[in-house]
Each structure stands twice: as structure tokens, then as C-alpha cells.
Chains A and B, each alone.
Chain A
Amino acid sequence: MTAKELYFNPNTNSSSTSHNNNNYNNNTNNNINNSGINIRGNSSYSDSDNHNAEVFQSDNNFDIVNNNQSNNQLDANALLDSLVTNNSIIDLISPDMDFEQAYLMYSNLQQKNALNSFEQLQMVQMLNQQYTTTLDGTPAPQSNAAAVEQSQQFNFSQAYHPTATGTMTQAGSGSGSTPLGSATDAFNYHRSQIVNNGLMNNAMNKKYAFNTPRASGKSDDGDDEFDQFFSNTESDALEKFLDNLANPNGSTNPLQFYYNNIQQQHNNENHNNQQQASNLHQQQQHHQHLQQHAPSQQNAFGQGNDYMFDLYTMKPNYKQNNDHEHLKKELTEAFSHPSLKLNSASPNQLPTPSDSRQSSSSFIDEFQQKDRENMITPPTQDGSDRKHGLSEDDEDDESESDYASGQPKKRRRSSHKPLLSLEQKRLNHSHSEQKRRQLCKLAYQRCLRQIIDIEAFNKLPAINEEQRKSKRARVNKDGLPNLSKHNALIRISNEIILIKTLNEKLKKFVEGK
């Protein structure tokens, strides 16, 4: 595999999800194992095995420069190793421990591992510079103290990079401060890419590749505690790193992608768009935004690991807060209500977060007020409002007069009469049906009293069951004759006919006289 093959390795794509992280780690592990061979096999970039030895010896200068940082790293490594070797992190997090304590321990562990990764990247950067100068033929002096520091510093990488450890035994000297030339610049990028990629993947494999055989005797049971966050972060960082290398006009610092990665999280915009003309207003604003913060990034990088520490721990520093606030203001202005834009004091002045908060709250209040005005009154459960139509008319008249006076509370009642609930409708229907049946019953009883002599009926003797032919009872539950409807109607009509006949005969008698 060549350096270009490594560059175009699809496994370094950040779009790889968390499901194929094992795959990713396995492939990157292969890249690591083959990285040294690839460098040597590529005749255009390296010509002998001594280059690898020079590469790893040149870390002495890096240790001299970053002596304090390496000491801090050693302390962190010591604590991490003690945590990992003595007990697993799962054993340390006992059930009696609170969530905060466990989370604090977990976050500390993540910070330390992130620091380790960054230290390795910085070491490889320095290593690349020395390697480039070695190609130019300007050897640099090497100090014994730096060698001691280097042996302590590289104790971490030796455990996971046997090839590097083997080449370190072949001590050579090579370091220089010659400025980088344009011809060696591209080679430096590819070289640093290969080695950085290898070391980064090595660090990632240390954390995530569970099937990788370990050269050290350290127990990595606690590494399973890491979630996919750092995996994705480093994958994104690796992609940005490779993009940076692909851009010939990009920054010479291979670690600058970290800063671009921070800013590009908001708009998914490639940092190469700084050279492209963008007609979109928001992109232009963000472009200016990036340019404004470029010096501060360089200063932050020159000051050490504080910026990266904040990146890995996700603790926003002051400049990031300013970025977020500025972006928040722009988005608030872009998506705010047009009337709010008109009400602003000056069109160019962005509202403060408190102003935007107040404006949004006032807008919400206004919307809620309008909604409250247009809201339909839900039906009341008690039937007191609908008892009499006259009272409803009175309410309507009252509400209409209130509507003329402009009171919103009365306006609601005027638009819609209170609706009856389903239960109320059902009760009203049953009540009406009972009322109708009661009237029918009274009319039927009245007819029965007109067609049957009730007094004589009540004096009737009880019917002998043996003599009884019909199964029908004589008396119904109301104490009246238990006539069928048809029989009762026949008797009614017969009674009418009877009385009519009597009256006609009487009339004949009166008229005949």
C-alpha cells in the first residue's frame, strides 16, 4: 500500500457510522502495521531503512521542546495505567458510587487518552520536520538528556508499535532547524500523513480494536468504557486532515484541521471555501467569521495544548463562546419575525441574546394572545347553560353588547353558543322519550277508563287458573285492564260508535217530537 493508497483509504471517511467501527479499526490496524513497510517500499520518498531510525531518534528534540508537556503526560499516563492495570474501570465504578463520581472518573479517563493522542500527533509533527531536514542533509545534534526523556516519552508508543521500537535501537542522529522548502513541503505532508495516520490509528486501536494483539502486558479492560464519541471525532479529524493534505494551498500545519473541524460543525462547509466565491449571504458572513478567528486560532495553537484540551473535553473556551453567540445572533435575526426586524433600533446591529429572547418571548405572547382570542370555548359539562332558550338569548344579547364594547372575553361567547356534550344530548333524548311515553300512557289510561268500567273491573273475582284459556293477565302493573293495543283500539272505536248511535237516536227523538 502506498501513501496515496493510504490517503484514499475509504475507511478514513467520516461518514462511517458507529456500526462499522470494528471494521474501521481493523483496517486501520492493518495500515499501521504496513505503514513502515510502505514508507520503505516507496522509493520516491524514502530510500533506506535508516530513515525510520532517524525518524524515531529525532523525537528527542520534540521532548526537549515539550518537556513540561511530556511530564504532564507521564503523570496522566501513570494515573491512567494505574487505573487500567490495577482494576478495570468497571470494577472501579461500584454500584455505591454516584453518577457524578462515575462520570467524573469517566471524563478524566477520556481527557487523558485524548491528551495522549494529541501528544502523539505533536511528536510525529516534530518527527516529520526532522525527517525532512534529514533528507536535506543537515544533521542536528542530539542531547543525552533528550534521549532519556525520549525513552520515557516513547514508552507509550513502544508498547503498541513494535516496528518503531525495533528501529529505535538503531540509533542515528538527524535533526535540524532548516526551514522547509517548497519541494519538500508536499513530501512532508505525505510523510506526516502516513506516520500520523499510523500513530493515530495506533492510538485508536489501543482504545477500540479489541482483536488486536497487544505487545504490552497492560490490561485494557477499562478501554471498553469509551463510547463512540471519540471514535467519531477522530474519524472526522482524520478526514479533515486528509482534506488538508489534498489542498496544496492549505496550511502547513497538519493539526490545523482540528480548528477547522470546530467551526465546520455548524455549517458543514469545507474550509477550502475560503478560496471560493460564495454568493450566499450567510456563507459570506460565516466566511468572514472564519477569517476573523484565524489569528486567534494560530495564537491558541502556539500557546500549547489548551485549545485542544478544550476540544477534547468539549469545554467551550472564550472564543468558541463568541463564535456560538455570533452564529446564534445571525440565526436569530434570519429566522425572526419581520416585524421584529423592523422594530430593531438599527438594521445593522444584531440583537443581543437577551433582546432576541425578549423579542421571541414577546412574539410568542402575542401569538398566544391572538390564539386565545380566536379560541373556541369548549362545551361546558353542566347543563345549566342550555336549560332555557330565553336565558341563552339573554346571554347572546349581553355578549353582543360586550362585543361592541370590545371585550375579548365576551367576544368568545357571542361567536358560539355553548355546545351540548354527547352525554347531555343522550340525557335530553331519553328524558324527552320518557316524557312522550308517559303522555301516551296517560292518554291510554284515559281511554281505558272510558271503555271499561274500572270499578266493576276491580270487583271482578279472581280467575280460576283451570278455567283460564288465555295466557294473558287480566291486570297490568298499573292496576288497569291488561288489554292489547289492538283490543283497546277496537273497544275505543266501538265505544265511539255506541255513543254516536245513542246520540243520533236521542236527536231523532227530539226532532221527531
Chain B
Amino acid sequence: MSSDEAKALAGRRKSTKSSVLTEDQKKAHHIASEQKRRENIRSEFDKIVSLTPTLTESENRSELNILTKSADYIDQLKDENSNLVELCRMKGIKIPEELIYNGPTSDGADIAK
């Protein structure tokens, strides 16, 4: 069996697989995917709320509130890190460079990959 024939068979399988699904199945898959996506977002929001001390479970769980308070908390952590680094320098304590926060490490190159 040549490589061309294998590709043709693979394509045929794909087409047959897609055609096997009925419209109800497609709809059910779409609904399940959407529910999964929302559940992942909800879990991440719960994680952020658990990490952020200014956010509580009984508080408003709106997206705006979570994003705003989490961003504030990140800024607060940045300020804390810079304050600790300055304290160590004042005390003459050598600290490793990796403990100094210099901003986000990711440049977003992995987004579309």
C-alpha cells in the first residue's frame, strides 16, 4: 500500500466519521463542549478566587469583580516582591536573581502554536 493510498483511506475515514454523526449528535457534542468550556472557566475563576484573599466565595462572582481584584492582587504581590527585594538589599542579604520578579515571563509566543 503506497503512502497516497494510506492518505486517501485516512481522508475517507474522516469523511465517513463526520457523516456518521447525526445532527442531534452534533448538537449534543456542541452542547457538551460548550458546557466543558464554561466549566473550565468556572473552575479557573474558583481557583483565582481561592488564590486572591480579597475575593471570597460569598462575594460577588462577577467576571469584572474577579478580574479587577485579581489584577489588584497581582499588583499588590509585585509591590510586595519589590519591597522584599529592597529590604534584603538594605540588610545586605544576597538574594538570588530568580527571586526578583521582573514582569511576566511569557511573551505570548505559545498562543497560536
Binding site for B on A (CB under 8 A): 436, 439-440, 443-444, 446-447, 450-453, 456-457, 459-460, 463, 468-470, 472-474, 481-483, 485-487, 489-493, 495-500, 502-503, 505-507, 509-510, 513
Contact = CB atoms under 8 A, between A and B. Distances in A.
Given A499-B74, A506-B84, A510-B84, A451 B106 contact: yes
A489 B45 contact: yes
Contact of A510 (B47, B87, B108): B87
Closest 3 CB pairs of A and B: A489-B44, A456-B107, A506-B84
Interface string B49-86: 00110000000000110011011011101101100110
Contact of A496 (B64, B67, B70, B106): B70
Contacts of A507: 84
Given A472-B112, A496-B77, A452 B64 contact: no
Contact of A460 (B44, B48, B109): B109
Contacts of A482: 111-112
Nearest to A460: B109
A486 B39 CA distance: 10
A51 B87 CA distance: 150
B74 A495 contact: yes
| Chain B interface category by residue count | 35 or more
A513 B77 contact: no
B77 A500 contact: yes
12 contacts: A440-B63, A444-B67, A452-B107, A452-B108, A459-B107, A470-B112, A470-B113, A472-B111, A489-B47, A492-B48, A506-B95, A510-B87
Which of A460, A468, A505, A509 has the most chain B CB atoms closer than 10 A to its own CB?
A509
Given A498-B101, A503-B81, A510-B88, 15 more contacts: A450-B71, A452-B107, A459-B107, A460-B107, A468-B113, A469-B113, A473-B112, A474-B108, A474-B111, A483-B111, A486-B44, A500-B77, A503-B84, A505-B99, A513-B91
A481 B108 contact: yes
B37 interface: yes
Contacts of B37: 486
Contacts of A436: 64
B71 A443 contact: yes
A456 B78 CA distance: 19
B8 interface: no
Given A497-B51, A499-B77, A503-B77, A460 B101 contact: no
Given A470-B113, A499-B74, A506-B85, A493 B108 contact: no
Given A470-B113, A489-B45, A510-B88, A503 B80 contact: yes
A496 B73 contact: yes
Which of A474, A486, A499, A506 has the most chain B CB atoms closer than 10 A to its own CB?
A506
Nearest to A468: B112
A499 B98 CA distance: 11
Given A447-B67, A496-B73, A505-B99, A453 B106 contact: yes
A489 B52 CA distance: 13
A204 B31 CA distance: 86
Nearest to A440: B64
Contact of B67 (A440, A472, A487, A509): A440
A500 B78 CA distance: 9
A492 B45 CA distance: 10
A486 B81 CA distance: 27
B41 interface: yes
A11 B24 CA distance: 78
Contacts of A474: 108, 111-112
Contacts of A470: 111-113
A495 B95 contact: no
A446 B40 contact: no
A500 B111 CA distance: 24
Nearest to B78: A499
A496 B52 CA distance: 8
A443 B99 contact: no
A198 B36 CA distance: 101
Contacts of A460: 107-109
A287 to B, nearest CB: 86
B10 to A, nearest CB: 18
Given A446-B71, A468-B113, A453 B101 contact: no
